[in-house]
């Protein structure tokens, strides 16, 4: 039954979203941001796809920069970059000599990269593994990077574009395709704390965006903030946008996703953009692209870097869930939200030298995104008291991530927000 609170629409089962087993729903693990040699990754497309499948992912969204993967594409085989002879030999050994295609042109040996359709044929398995097509629409030099998921036609990027008009254009293009093709698609604002960033104030001008990366595993991203550049943490960013949207009466939640932004598949470790750092867990009735997109639009998912959850209830009375406990690991759940009547005042950011960085977000007060409650047990719950705008949750374990984005990172999970009455 649909439920409407503060204008936010949730497609919920009964009176709430429940991801408990036995309700014709199950969890599907997904990678939403993946690159290969078709753009700026270091491996042929079949390498990342096989990695995710072999490591237990259920779906992968292939999102190359400014291209769909349905056209012919070749890369020179060289000793130092791109596909090396060793890379090609590895491909033949893993996938078979008949799978690997080389051509000779003007004295150069070139590797033919597989198309999305070829990868689908080889790797898709009904009910267990699914490839979903997409594109990272990438403004060069400056401007936003935006993932369009489950799209069918390439969306041209705007080079050297200002963040707000470019991001609006990309969202509109995805929406137009969605209407034209008659199937659900997603638009995600990628890594707002990367490169020139998308400031908080710019995101507030983009009310149609309902998804952003609260965690991105690429080492060049600043998930936890950047003191010199004036980037807040992505969690602070999230709470400011959620609060301002609710205060303005807007009917559009902002959901947080975690992704790898994977580029590097041969050398693993901090400093490399590896697979396996961040993902989404989607509760859906079947492993189907349209069903998964609709489930995410309804907020029926959580983001994780290692913590596993179940039985998530987002309902009129509050938020609760269960943590799948790992022996010897302790968990702290922080329920985060802003209260009705909270101050939305902000001021300019100044770096440690007292300077105002050119692309800094403004600073909002401590009343935005307060820790409303904490829990140390594995079945945490928060009940609304009547003066909250919303609540969301972050779960922090004391288990170090096996291949961290930053040294010292712990395994975590983020639960999507639910608005209060």
Per-residue DSSP letters for 303-326? EESS--EEEEEEETTEEEEEE---
Residue 102 resides in a domain: no
Q: How distant, in Å, are the alpha carbons of 213, 226, 361, 372, 405 from that of 194? A: 11, 10, 13, 29, 14
Among 244, 241, 139, which residue's Cα sits nearest to residue 200? 241
Indicate the pLDDT class of residue 20, thresholds 50, 70 and 90. Answer: very low
Residue 93 forms part of a structural domain: no
Report if residue 99 sits inside a domain: no
Per-residue pLDDT tens over the stretch 317-338: 999 999 999 999 999 999 999 9
pLDDT > 60? residue 400: yes
Q: Which domain holds residue 152?
A: 2-73+113-419
Number of domains in the chain: 1
pLDDT in tens, 210-224: 999 999 999 999 999
Pairing of β 59-62 and β 74-76: unpaired
Q: What is the pLDDT of residue 106?
A: 83
Within a domain: residue 344? yes
Instruction: Judge whether 106 lies within some domain.
Output: no
The answer to whether 389 and 337 are in contact (CB under 8 A) is yes
Give me the pLDDT at residue 196, please.
74
Answer yes or no: is pLDDT of 4 > 70: no
Residue 161, Cβ neighbours under 10 Å: how many? 18
pLDDT at 74: 96
- The span from the CA of 93 to the CA of 96, in Å, is 6
pLDDT value, residue 197: 77
Residue 312 lies in a domain: yes
In a domain, 90, yes or no: no
Residue 295 lies in a domain: yes
pLDDT for res 25? 86
- Provide the CB-side half-sphere exposure for 29 (13 A, CA): 20
Residue 368 has pLDDT above 80, yes or no: yes
- The packing angle between helices 85-95 and 46-54, to 10°, is 50
Q: Is the pLDDT of residue 285 over 80?
A: yes
pLDDT of residue 24: 64
CATH number for the domain that contains residue 261: 3.20.20.140
**Region 278-295 average pLDDT:** 98
Model confidence at 48: pLDDT above 60: yes
């Amino acid at each position: 039954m649909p439920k409407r609170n503060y204008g936010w629409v949730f497609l919920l089962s009964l009176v709430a979203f429940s991801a408990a087993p036995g309700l014709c729903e199950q969890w599907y693990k997904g990678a939403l941001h993946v690159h290969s040699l078709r753009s700026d990754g270091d491996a042929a497309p079949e390498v990342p796809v096989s990695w995710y499948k072999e490591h237990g992912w259920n779906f992968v969204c292939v999102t190359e920069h400014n291209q769909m993967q349905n056209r012919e594409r070749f890369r020179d085989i060289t000793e130092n970059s791109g596909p090396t002879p060793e890379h090609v030999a590895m491909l033949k050994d893993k996938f078979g000599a008949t799978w690997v295609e080389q051509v000779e042109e003007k004295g150069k040996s070139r590797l033919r990269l597989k198309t999305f359709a070829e990868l689908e044929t080889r790797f898709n398995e009904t009910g267990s593994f699914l490839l979903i097509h997409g594109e990272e629409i990438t403004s060069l030099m400056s401007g936003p990077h935006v993932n369009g998921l489950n799209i069918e036609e390439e969306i041209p990027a705007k080079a050297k574009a200002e963040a707000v008009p470019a991001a609006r254009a990309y969202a509109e293009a995805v929406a137009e395709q969605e209407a034209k093709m008659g199937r659900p698609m997603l638009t995600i604002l990628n890594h707002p704390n990367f490169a020139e960033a998308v400031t908080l104030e710019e995101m507030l001008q983009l009310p149609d965006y309902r998804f952003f990366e609260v965690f991105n595993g690429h080492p060049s991203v600043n998930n936890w903030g950047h003191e010199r550049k004036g980037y807040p943490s992505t969690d602070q960013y999230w709470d400011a946008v959620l609060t301002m949207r609710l205060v303005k009466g807007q009917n559009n939640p902002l959901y947080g996703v975690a992704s790898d932004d994977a580029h590097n598949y041969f050398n693993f470790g901090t400093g490399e953009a590896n697979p396996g750092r961040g993902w989404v867990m989607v509760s859906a009735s079947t492993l189907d692209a349209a069903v998964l997109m609709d489930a995410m639009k309804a907020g029926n998912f959580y983001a994780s870097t290692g913590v596993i959850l179940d039985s998530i209830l987002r309902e009129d009375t509050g938020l609760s869930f269960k943590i799948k406990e790992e022996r010897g690991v302790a968990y702290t759940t922080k329920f985060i939200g802003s209260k009705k009547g909270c101050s939305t005042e902000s001021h300019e950011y100044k770096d440690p030298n007292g300077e105002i960085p050119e692309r800094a977000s403004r600073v909002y007060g401590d009343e935005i995104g307060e820790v409303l409650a904490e829990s140390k047990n594995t079945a945490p719950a928060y009940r609304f008291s009547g003066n909250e705008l919303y609540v969301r949750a972050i779960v922090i374990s004391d288990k170090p991530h096996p291949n961290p984005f930053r040294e010292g990172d712990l395994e975590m999970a983020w639960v999507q927000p639910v608005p209060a009455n």
